Structure 1
Amino acid sequence: MSLDHATVRRIAKLARIRLDEEEVPRLAGELNAILGYVEQLAEVDVEGVAPLSGGAQMALRMREDEVTDGRYPDRVLANAPERIGDFFAVPKVVE
């Protein structure tokens, strides 16, 4: 599949990306290279490969919920613009 310049302009318009006319040929080449790679992936033989095989199917180890203070209040608050004790100081937002 090859994208022409009109299609590239339409994609840019749908994505709300402003393109100068001199950018269209370069972007068309880049998009065509990406589509060529996707076409190569479509040619891969996946017969016998279980769908979604990988780390996503691993069961997560359960742990107890434990409320902590993070154990490092000074490091956590080191970048705070303002603090009061071990808490972030923020402007009042409710009247």
Structure 2
Amino acid sequence: MPGITRDEVTHLARLSRLELSEAEVGDFTGQLNAIVEAVARVSEVAGQDVAPTSHPLPLTNVMRADEVRPSLAPEQALSGAPAQELQRFKVPQILGED
């Protein structure tokens, strides 16, 4: 598999509006080639018998079941509020809208 060239790194830097020195272009060329090689190695390992997954371990939902429970009455919930209106907390206007 052909690697990333200095010209490609320079082109990507220009597209990204990055100003890179010649030393940085060389460094990034080597780093990007290492990344491409690592991805290629992973692709070689995954055979036809390995199903694609998003996570190496099976995930299950560990949250409790959503069930209806008694809660505070509106009066109880609003009892400590400094201001209330229409059974809601009243707060200062912040967006300048009605």
Smaller-chain TM-score bracket: 0.5 to 0.7
CA–CA distance in structure 1, aligned partners of residues 54 and 43 of structure 2: 17
The gaps in structure 1 that reach 5 residues or longer are: 69-84
Q: Give the AA of the match of 2:49.
A: G
Structure 2 match to 1:76: none
CA–CA distance in structure 1, aligned partners of residues 35 and 23 of structure 2: 20
User: Is residue 8 from structure 1 mapped to residue 21 from structure 2 by the alignment?
Assistant: no
How has the CA–CA distance of structure 1 residues 56 and 14 changed in structure 2, closer, same or farther, with 3 Å as cutoff? farther
State the shift of 1:21 in Å: 2.5
Residue correspondence of structure 1 range 40-55 to structure 2 within 5 A: 40-52=41-53, 54=55
TM normalised by structure 2 equals 0.53
- Percent identity of paired positions between Structure 1 and Structure 2: 28
The gaps in structure 2 that reach 5 residues or longer are: 72-81, 83-90
CA–CA distance in structure 1, aligned partners of residues 52 and 13 of structure 2: 33
* Higher RCO structure (Cα 8 Å, ≥6 apart): 1
Larger radius of gyration: 2
Provide the alpha-carbon RMSD of the alignment: 3.4
Count of residues in correspondence between the two structures: 75
1:17-53: CA deviation from partner (whole Å, max 9, x where unpaired): 3312221111111111111111211211422122226
Q: Give the AA of the match of 2:7.
A: A
State the shift of 1:56 in Å: 8.3
Divergent runs of 4+, >6 A: none
Residue correspondence of structure 1 range 1-95 to structure 2 within 5 A: 1-52=2-53, 54=55, 58-60=59-61, 61=63, 63-64=65-66, 92-94=94-96
